[in-house]
Structure 1
Amino acid sequence: MAHTDFHTSGLVIAISITQGRLAEAAVMLEPGALFDSATRVLAQAESRSGERTGVGDAPVSSPEALRLIH
Structure 2
Amino acid sequence: IYSYLEPLDLLRLSRTSKDLRVFLMSRSNAIVWRAARSNVPDLPPLPSDLSEPEYANLVFASYCHV
Taking structure 1 as the reference length, the TM-score comes to 0.44
Q: Which has the higher contact order (CA 8 A, sep 6+)?
A: 2
Bigger share in helix: 1
